[in-house]
Amino acid sequence: MLKLLPSVLSADFANLGRDLACIQKAGVTMVHVDVMDGSFVPSISLGFPVIRSMRKVSDLFFDVHLMVDEPGRYLNEVKEAGADRIGVHVEACKHLHRTLQQIRALGCEVCVVLNPATPLTALDYVLEDVDVVLLMTVNPGFGGQAYIPTMTRKISDLRKRIDDRGLDVKIELDGGVKLSNVRELIEAGADELVAGSSVFNGEPEKAIAEFKAIFAEYEQK
């Protein structure tokens, strides 16, 4: 089943509880939470205290994306803050396999993340160890960027690698996802789509309904 994950990076930080309730009422079950350290990526975003506060007012599935150097240092804290899934970057982990195993041991879903220029060969020896591969379809660090067109081929190539191995691994996309290109991304092989500005920069309920209507076209086939 196709999933839409609104990104709280584009929500109103003064009214996160309101925005979380709004998207849940519209039928969303998962939310994407970006944690940035100002080192691995240029920006600094919300941290673990904010995630804890969000968890107090929401039972949505929290997909936490750690855009930080050496994310293994923070796994226990992000789990305790309320994460249901933890995503770590190939590029940020000195010992990727160990970090993925630590996430599994915490009882969270395991997600590995690749930047746009990172080749899929980086997954060769860990693909069996994850639940989700998150492909960045923009360069990470800022919301509202345009989708990188060459990522469509990368999505298709990853879909083939997963299917050829007979694995139950989902493909998640983050960056530049809009109503105008979501069909292309689904047809390339995406399972989960992160959308920030295209959901929150307007009427979230209306945008979510429009995404879900497109998803239904494919789920009925």
- pLDDT value of position 220: 81
- pLDDT value of position 154: 98
- pLDDT value of position 43: 86
What sign does the CA torsion over 127, 130, 135, 136 have? negative
- pLDDT value of position 42: 85
Please tell me the distance from the alpha carbon of residue 100 to that of residue 110, in angstroms, as a whole number.
6
Neighbours of 194 (CB within 10 A): 27
Place of tokens 């959901």: 199
DSSP-assigned letters across all residues of 24-79 = HHTT--EEEEEEEBSSSSS-B---HHHHHHHHHH--SEEEEEEESSSGGGGHHHHH
Identify the segments of the chain with pLDDT beneath 50: none
Q: Against a cut of 0.75, is the pTM above it?
A: yes
Question: Could you read off the pLDDT of 131-168 as tens digits, one per residue?
Answer: 999 999 999 877 678 999 999 999 999 999 999 999 99
Please, what are the domains in the chain? 3-219 (3.20.20.70)
63 has catalytic annotation: no
- pLDDT value of position 141: 76
Choose, from 19, 63, 131, 174, the residue flagged as catalytic: 174
34 has catalytic annotation: yes
Choose, from 19, 34, 37, 131, the residue flagged as catalytic: 34
In this structure, the strands spanning 3-6 and 170-174 are: unpaired
